[in-house]
Chain A
Amino acid sequence: MTSLVLPGDSIPLPSSSKSIVLGPGIAASTSRVQSGRSQDAPACIATRLGLLGSAKGKEKSEQYWVEGSSKRYIPAQKDMVLGTIIARHAEGYRVDLGSAQMASLEGLAFEGATKRSKPNLKVGTLVYARVSLANRDMEPEIECFDPNTGKAEGFGELKGGLMVTCSLQLCRKLLNPKFPVLPTLAASIPFEIAVGLNGRVWFKTETVSESIALKRIIEGVDSGHIKAEKEDVEQAVKEYLA
């Protein structure tokens, strides 16, 4: 079910008891609307123009978000992002996510970090992180560990490999397991990948030419030169690896 929503439109949410996760583009309205019954329910409204997307999340919860076609990344809580460290200060680092504001990454927000032993990252390092705080008009904060487990779970410094930039829409699509591009690529090229929702994708392969092929395919799919179908991607892999 996809439908177009405009900023201010109320989002039709199922009234079942299942838990609902609200993603970017949806906010709880400050005003309350009269639902069919007597009790007042907080309404959810869209905050941007786009298509309403939904997916089944963990533990039977249902996720909802608004799929816009914006070009500038707006940080949202729990997004996984790729950022470049641009400065370091006493308490932590300042990280560029490609958003309007720089994000701050605390020195303690790493797996097993204590006041005595903090990771030492240089300016220019690429990190994979999770947005832990994203309020409007406030500097976003990111962290390099899962707060539930305290483990790194793949977050942290990315060594080697190559980063490419692509549209925000493609990043979201790449994370969908049903999207055929990554599974098809994985069948012919072994690679490690980290997809950031801020329009950045990092990957690492054995050889340089494999990385270049991956970069060209991701950029080709993004610009529409290569169709996101299994056959087209397979053909492109053959062509670029030759």
Chain B
Amino acid sequence: MVREVDPPSIQKEFLLQALAEGKRLDGRITLEQREVNFVFGEELGCVECRLGKTAVLAQVSASIVKPRDDRPYEGFLLINSEIGPMASSVYESGRSSDDEILITRLLEKSIRRTEAIDREALCILAGEKVWQLRLTLHFLSDSGNLLDCASLAAMAALKHFRKPEVEVIGDEVIIHSPDERAPVPLAIHHTPLCLTFAYYENLPPILDPTHLESTLCSGTLTLTLNAQREICVLSKAGGTPLAASEIMGVVNVGVDRVREMVKHLEEALERDREGRVVEVR
């Protein structure tokens, strides 16, 4: 694995000096996120999310499989997230670095384990046929904070996706093609989104660290929250210890941010829906 060259020491001095004045190198304030942009693909369930220069493409596809014997009513949600060298030259395909494992596991926790998707609604015929959703994430460019961007892209793609309508007559299952009947959206319980904060010694935390900021910080904290003010995941992997009051402070900030993000996501989806012709006869 090619180790990344550390940034020159003057970068750290300058960054700390700027943060002490409450300024960040890209002109943001401490708890401000980079601009979020969604690019919707031609197909339903294909969304590219851009957070500043960081970009992640999410793609959802569905197929019909046989459920597990012990859970005959549950469908599957598979998350595929491999960070390849396209994101940055430090990532190697086939071998996963610590960062990559952390990102993959947190995504798994914040999307699958929080039951964001109603898996029982994916059942077609108990014990026989269920939908299997496959969520594939392509990390296109790493300019810091891949995780937040990936969680946004994943939720946007799941909300954007429509599965074909199925009809069950007795034991027979008829799958209607999208030209015949309008495909149906997935049943989504809530929208958990990740927020990453970076900590520096004796300085207030910053939201959405860039690549330079995250290489120089003393620790990060990732929260997964939803618009209903629920903490879904809290992950603090190493770094400097934090007091409980500090964590509560960022949680309160995070709740507001997640509400804004969900609103922004819904607006973007709405705009896309208006411009899209869903064929119904």
Contacts and interface: CB of A to CB of B under 8 A. Distances in A.
A208 B23 contact: yes
B18 A125 contact: no
Given A208-B17, A208-B18, A208-B21, A162 B27 contact: no
Interface string B17-55: 110010111110000000000000000000000000000
Contacts of B24: 212
Interface secondary structure of B, over-half rule:
loop
B172 interface: no
Contact of B8 (A163, A208, A216, A240): A163
Size band of the interface chain A makes with B: 20 to 34
Contacts of A86: 5-6
B8 A125 contact: yes
Interface secondary structure of A, over-half rule:
mixed
Contacts of A211: 14, 18
A61 to B, nearest CB: 34
B18 A212 contact: yes
A212 B15 CA distance: 10
Nearest to A215: B25
B10 A161 contact: yes
A240 B17 CA distance: 18
Contacts of B9: 122, 124-126
A212 B10 contact: no
B11 interface: yes
A163 B21 contact: no
A163 B11 contact: yes
A161 B89 CA distance: 27
Interface in A188-227: 208-209, 211-212, 215-216
A58 interface: no
A133 interface: no
Given A209-B23, A215-B25, A216-B27, A159 B10 contact: yes
A96 B10 contact: no
A160 B10 contact: yes
A22 B45 CA distance: 53
Given A208-B18, A212-B18, A212-B25, A162 B11 contact: yes
A134 interface: no
Contacts of A124: 6, 8-9
A187 B7 CA distance: 30
A8 to B, nearest CB: 29
Interface in A149-207: 158-163
B50 to A, nearest CB: 13
A84 interface: yes
A96 B14 contact: no
A84 B7 contact: yes
Most chain-B CB neighbours within 10 Å: which of A84, A125, A208? A208
A127 to B, nearest CB: 9
Contacts of A208: 14, 17-18, 21, 23
Nearest to B9: A124
Nearest to B13: A160
Nearest to B19: A208
A96 B9 CA distance: 13
13 contacts: A84-B5, A84-B6, A86-B5, A124-B9, A158-B10, A163-B8, A163-B11, A208-B14, A208-B23, A209-B23, A212-B24, A212-B25, A212-B27
Interface of B: 5-11, 13-14, 17-18, 21, 23-27
Report, nearest first, the 6 A-B pairs whose CB atoms are least far apart: A124-B9, A126-B8, A84-B8, A96-B5, A162-B14, A208-B18
Given A124-B8, A209-B23, 4 more contacts: A86-B6, A163-B8, A208-B21, A216-B27
